[in-house]
Amino acid sequence: MKGEKQEIHHTKPIRCIVKLGGAAITCKNELEKINEENLDIVSSQLRQAMMPGWSSSMKVLGMDWSKRHGESEVSGNIEDFVHNANVDSSRFVVVHGAGSFGHFQASKSGVHKGGLDQSLVKAGFVATRISVTTLNLEVVRALAREGIPSIGMSPFSCGWSTKEKNIASADLAVVDKAIDSGFIPVLHGDAVLDKLQGCSILSGDVIIRHLAAHLKPEYVVFLTDVFGVYDRPPTEPNAVLLREIAVGKDGKWSVVKPELQNMDKQVQTTVAAHDTTGGMETKIAEAAMIARLGIDVYIVKAGCRQPQTTH
C-alpha cells in the first residue's frame, strides 16, 4: 500500500517495522504451538535484512545463551564475540501477533470485552498475558539465535493502555531508548488496561500503526501466512490476490491491481470465532492507516523471497 509521502527527516531513521503475523509463526490449529520452521526462516531472513555488513562467510553470533529444552549446557559460542565486533544492525522494530497463543484464553474469558471486577475476566487477563509473553520469549530467543540483538518489550509493562480499542497511553520513550542503544525491540499483541471498560486486547496491528505514526519508518512489512490480501478468504476457490491497493487521504482504500472483473463485488473479509482482535478487516484498515501516513506497506507471505507488490 502506498500513501502520499510526507517529508520527514531523521538523523537516524528507523528503517522498518516488521509485523510477524500470529498465523505465520504459530500453528493456527494447535493450541500454543510455535511454527518453529517458519520462525527460524523468518529470523534468518530478518538477520540478513537487518545486518547489511553480514556476509555468508561470517559466523552467526548467537545471543541466546540459555539452555534449550532437554540440554544441560548453554547454547552460543561466547568466545566468538571477542574476535568479532560487527553486530551492528539497522534500526528495526518487530511486533508479533498471538496466533494460537492468547486467543483461546482471551476469548474464553472475554478479556476483550472488559470487566476486571469479574473473576473470570481477571483470571483470563492473567492467563492471556502468560500465554502471549511465552510466545514473545520464544520469538526473542529465535531472533537472538540468529544474532539479532532482540529485546522483549511487553506493551502492558511499557505502560500501553487502551480506550475503546484505541491507544490511550503508550510509553514510546522506552522503545526509543532501546533502539538508540542498538537493540531491536520485540513487542506483541497483549492484554492491557482500558480506561473505559477496565481491560482490553491490544492487537499487534494497532501497536504497529501507533509505532509507525511515531517512529516514521521507511516502510512497514506485514509477514503473514498467505501471499497477501485476497478479495475473499484465500481458502475459497477463485480467491484473487490483490497486488496493489491505493489508499486515499481519507483513509479509504481501493484495489488498483488486478482490475477486478466485477467491480461491484466487494472484498469479503471474515473474522474467526476465536479472534478477539477483529480479523482481516481490522488488519487491512490498520495497514491503510499506515499508508495514509506516507509510509509504504508491504504484505508478504512469511518465508517468501518475492514480496507481493502492494502500494
- Considering only CA atoms, which of 105, 100, 96, 99 is closest in space to residue 123? 105
Least Å distance, CB 109 to a copy of itself, is 7
Can residue 141 be called a binding residue for a copy of itself (CB under 8 A)?
yes
Compute CA 89 distance to the chain's CA centroid, rounded to the nearest angstrom. 19
- What is the C-alpha separation between 47 and 44, in angstroms, rounded? 5
Give the H or E element holding residue 247.
strand 244-247
Binding site residues for substrate, as ranges? 98, 103, 204
The answer to whether the beta carbons of residues 121 and 111 sit under 8 Å apart is yes
Which of residues 13, 115, 149, 233 is near a copy of itself by CB under 8 A?
149
Give the Cβ contact number of residue 274 at 10 Å. Answer: 12
Q: Give CA 116 to chain center in angstroms.
A: 27
Q: Which residue in 15, 47, 122, 163 binds a copy of itself (CB under 8 A)?
A: 122
Amino acid present at 107: S
CB of residue 39 to a copy of itself, shortest distance in Å: 15
Give min distance, CB of 153 to a copy of itself, in A: 5
What's the CA gap between 224 and 184, in Å, rounded? Answer: 20
For position 254 contacting a copy of itself by CB under 8 A, the verdict is no
With binding defined as CB under 8 A, does residue 198 bind a copy of itself?
yes
Residue 241 corresponds to which cell in the numbers above? Answer: 490476490
Q: In the bound complex, what is the minimum distance in angstroms from residue 293's beta carbon to a copy of itself?
A: 26
The verdict on 55 binding a copy of itself (CB under 8 A) reads no
Q: Return the residue of 107, 109, 203, 277 that touches a copy of itself, per CB under 8 A.
A: 109
251 lies in the binding site for a copy of itself (CB under 8 A):
no
- Does residue number 110 form part of the binding site for a copy of itself (CB under 8 A)? no
Q: Is 92 in the site for a copy of itself (CB under 8 A)?
A: no
Question: Residue 152 interacts with a copy of itself (CB under 8 A)?
Answer: yes
Task: For a copy of itself, give the closer residue by CB, 133 or 310.
Answer: 133
DSSP annotation string for 35-103:
-HHHHHHHHHHHHHHH-TT--TTSPP-----SBPTT-SSB-S-GGGGGG--------EEEEE--TTSSH
Of 21-29, 101-109, 220-228, 285-293, the window that binds a copy of itself (rule: CB under 8 A) is 101-109
27 binds a copy of itself (CB under 8 A): no
Q: What residues numbered 71-90 form the site for a copy of itself, per CB under 8 A?
A: 72-74, 76, 78, 81-82, 84-87
**Residue among 182 and 248 whose Cβ is closer to a copy of itself:** 182
Q: If you search the block for the grid coordinates 473474522, which residue do you land on?
A: 271
* Cα–Cα distance for residue pair 42/99, rounded to 1 Å: 16
| 303 is a site residue for a copy of itself (CB under 8 A) | no
Q: Which of 230, 285, 293, 277 is nearest to 128 (CA)?
A: 277
Compute how many other C-beta atoms are within 10 angstroms of the C-beta atom of residue 138: 18
Q: Does 230 bind a copy of itself (CB under 8 A)?
A: no
196 touches a copy of itself by CB under 8 A? no
150 lies in the site for a copy of itself, by CB under 8 A = yes
* Region of residue 268 (left: phi > 0; alpha: psi -120 to 50; beta: else): beta
Residues that bind a copy of itself (CB under 8 A): 31-32, 61, 63-67, 69, 72-74, 76, 78, 81-82, 84-87, 104-105, 108-109, 116, 118-120, 122-127, 129-131, 133-134, 137, 140-141, 144, 149-154, 156-159, 161, 171, 173-174, 177-178, 181-183, 193, 198-199
